[in-house]
Structure 1
Amino acid sequence: MKKTSWLSKLTSTVAAGAAAFMLFASFASAHVTVNPSNAQTGAWQMYTIKVPSEKELPTTKITLKVPKEVTFKQYQPLTGWKISTEKNDSKEVTSITWEVDGDNQGILAGQFQQFNFVAQNPKNEAEVAWDAFQYYSDGSIVEWTGQPDDNNPHSITTISEDPAVAGNAAASDGHDSAGTAGSTSGSASNDTASDTVTDGKKANDDTTLGDALSDTVTGQPNNTDTDTGTLKLQQATLIVSILALIMSFLGIALATRRKKR
């Protein structure tokens, strides 16, 4: 009887631990990210911030801090979202905020939204960190400002002189694709970025502002299409978690029954 009771408690503990781990993994798998994760030095770059809603509440606002190494140029207007920027004393944009406007309910649970902007990369190689602040309808804030191994990491873009890495978006955990959305109208579309020189030779694929703006597709406000990879993982995680919880309750019930005997 002692052996049975011990096994019951072990089953209960393992099941509860598995459930907690799976639930944690489901929340830790989807992050606020900025793509691309690799880009060309000196280029005018189309960046996309991807914002999933991880809670059972809508995301109503997102603020992105612009790294000091990057020069913000333009943002894509998006119906249903009010967009504002903050500048320093030198009139440089230091942050950009997207906030729900009108009847827009925000980014609902199981959804994600992409926001686009154009910035000019530094001429020197660097790793730039994008700190983001995600606001939910209940007033809670998730700060995506940690290191890569933290629970809420900020997104990082590696700026390289190697033209081969320009524009490549490295997927993170299989969920953060390099989706770019939106068509931006800019009078400076004919402006060109300064040539990038590597070992005394001009890079073959210098990117201009016109190139960055033309590399877009039409964006939709409040994207109701779920991220397929994230949704499947969440569904699988939910099923496994439910089974683990059932096992946990059965183990507790069995242990209690044995104890009464």
Structure 2
Amino acid sequence: MMKKAACLLAGSVAALALFAGTAVAHVTVWPKEANPGAYEKFTVRVPSEAEDTPTVKVEVRIPEEVNISRVEPKPGWTYTLTRDAEDKVTGIAWTAEGQGLLATEFAEFNVSGKIADDAEALIWEAHQYYGDGSVVAWAGPSDSDLPASVTTIVPSENAGGYDEREGSLSLTLSIVAVVLGALSLAISLRKGRPAKTS
């Protein structure tokens, strides 16, 4: 019994040593704020903390409030999509083709999609797989040692994300500015032209 307890204690200590500091360097999804109803690019940032074994796979559960439509290819990594009965993407797993991420390395994986109009917060649960077979589940509350990443949904004027509607408005305003500038230049040139003499 004592031997078994000692083994369990040793295993716990080893796990703590392996992932010391992971509460700071954990899997996160950016941006941290976004608009309801917006089309957004999400970046999954994956640091590798273990000194003696690389990160070889990361799996992210897509929040119900996000409809993923595109995945950016990542050299050296393959990805697989999990879909529900309605063909909606519910999860993405990226797997290293080579040795994966070493202790001092990180990688970013980009996806894009639309946020639901009634979304309030996006909770991104992730599982980080290491070469030695260990798995870290970043799926806890914000005050836990292994928190899930959260994107807060805020009113459009306060968020730092990209909204296609805002992009269209900016383009329209730019075109109007160019037209007004050209018109102003034409008027100035016409006024400066010397009068004809008979």
| Same-fold call, TM cutoff 0.5 | yes
Q: Structure 1 residue 74 and structure 2 residue 73: aligned?
A: no
**Matched position secondary structure for 1:26:** coil
User: What's 2:33 paired with?
Assistant: 38
In 2, Cα distance between equivalents of 1:73 and 1:34: 17
C-alpha separation in 2, matches of 1:85 and 1:151: 28
**77 and 43 in structure 1: CA distance in 2 versus 1, 3 angstrom threshold:** same
Cα deviation for residue 54 of structure 1 reads: 1.2
8 Å contact 2:68–2:112 — kept in the other structure? yes
Q: Is 1:54 aligned with 2:77? A: no
Which amino acid is the alignment partner of residue 63 of structure 1?
E
Which residue does 1:130 correspond to in 2?
Answer: 124
Where does structure 1 differ by over 6 angstroms across 4 or more consecutive aligned residues? none
Distance 1:160 1:105 in 2: 39
Cα displacement string for residues 48-93 of structure 1 (whole angstroms, at most 9, x for unaligned residues): 0100111111000000000001111110001110111010101000
Aligned to 2:15: none
Three-state SS of the structure 1 residue aligned to 2:158 is helix
Superposed displacement of residue 158, structure 1: 1.0
For structure 1, the residue ranges without an aligned partner over 5 or more in a row are: 1-22, 169-191, 196-204, 209-261
Contact 2:36/2:117 (CA < 8 Å) preserved in 1?
Answer: yes
What SS class does the counterpart of residue 128 from structure 1 fall into? strand
Q: 1:206 to 1:125 in 2, by over 3 A?
A: farther
**Cα distance, 1:163 vs structure 2:** 2.2
Q: 2:24 aligns with which of 18, 22, 29?
A: 29
Higher strand share: 2
1:26 CA drift (Å): 3.1
CA RMSD of aligned residues (A): 2.5
Name the amino acid aligned to 1:146: G
Q: Structure 1 residue 118 and structure 2 residue 109: aligned?
A: no
Secondary structure in structure 1 of the residue aligned to 2:68: strand
TM-score by length of 1: 0.54
Point out where structure 2 has 5 or more consecutive residues left out of the alignment. 1-17, 170-198
Count residues with an aligned counterpart.
Answer: 153
Deviations along 1:161-187, one digit per CA (max 9) or x if unpaired, are 23221329xxxxxxxxxxxxxxxxxxx
After TM superposition, the score normalised by the length of structure 2 is: 0.71
Aligned mates of 1:50, 1:207 — CA distance in 2: 29
